[in-house]
Structures are given as C-alpha cells and as structure tokens.
Amino acid sequence: MVEVRIHGRGGQGAVTSAELLALAAIEEGKFAQAMPSFGPERRGAPVIAYLRISEKEPIRIRSVIIQPDIVVILDPSLLKIIDFTAGLNKKGIVVINTSRSPEEIKTNFQIKSRLAIVDATKIARETLGVPITNTTMMGALIRVTGLVGLASLTGPIQRRFNVKLAERNLKAVERAYQETLVKEQ
C-alpha cells in the first residue's frame, strides 16, 4: 500500500485531487481511499488530504497518514510554515509546486529524499486561467510515482468538471507530467 499526504490551502483542491486519484486507481482495479483533514479551515488556511492506494488488498485503515510514502505540496508558501517532511518514509518522495530549482529546494529545506518539482502555478494560470494547482500537481505526482496511469484520470476528471473545464484540466495534467523535474537522492 502507498500512502500520500497532500498539503494545500483551502480552495486549492487538495481534497479534490486525492478523490480524483483514488477514483483513477479504482478504475484500474486497485483499492483506494481518499480522506480530508478538516477542522475550522477556511479558504486560504492550510489543509491536508490523505490518499491510500493498494494494488492487491482492500484498505481497512481509517486514520490520518503519519508516515507517508509521498508528500505533495500544492502551495510553495507552505514550505516555510509546516514541517512537510514529518514522518516521511526513508525512501519517500516529495512533490512540490515551485519555480525554484531542485537543488535550491533540497538545500534550503534539507530534503534527503527523492524530489520532484514543477511550476504548477504557472501551468495552472496558463492552462486553466486560475492559480488552482490540484490537477496540475496530479500530473507531477503520476510522473514521479506511476501510482496510476495518466489516462486513468480522464474519466474521473470528465465526470467532475464540465466539458470545457475537464479538457483544460486534462491539458494541465499532461503539461505538468511533461515538465516535472525529478532529483534523485
């Protein structure tokens, strides 16, 4: 089983991205679970969403993810205010939305794990017209992990959004997939 913790801000779609990835995994015949972590959050406040995907066995755990295999950061401003690598598996992966270089991120935040970066904000603005990075970051996550196939997101995205918006979101996913840079340990 793979466990993913997604950090974002209210209104950025962290919960939606976890749900869409879970649906894509289920379409591939895998078991999946997506859960939000809600408190008194409001638009712009830090939020967390959790995703579990299992290739072979049903998922019976119903708790927050404390030791993730993968951490996704939708908003680069969170890097300075949360301990995003807390509990990260030794062979874990960090996927960050940033315009900074992988070397700069690794050095500034002492990341010792595998790192993937993409300027999801730029892609979202250019492709969607808004800086909402959730679907864009799914492309980056899939690029570095292969958790689900890129094509598996098509159905869930088309069912979630109207035709025009689904098309733009799928383009954002594909573009992020192509533009993601991966820095090994």
Structural domains in the chain, sorted by start: 2-183 (3.40.920.10)
pLDDT tens digits, residue range 121-156?
999 999 999 999 999 999 999 999 999 999 999 999
Burial of 13: CB neighbours in 10 Å, binned 0-12, 13-18, 19+: buried
What is the average per-residue pLDDT within 147-170?
A: 96
Residue pair 118/137 in contact (Cβ under 8 Å)? The answer is yes
> Rounded to the nearest 10 degrees, how much is the dihedral formed by the CA atoms of 61, 66, 69, 70?
110
How many C-beta atoms lie closer than 10 Å to residue 50's C-beta? 23
What is the average per-residue pLDDT within 73-83?
A: 93
pTM above threshold 0.75: yes
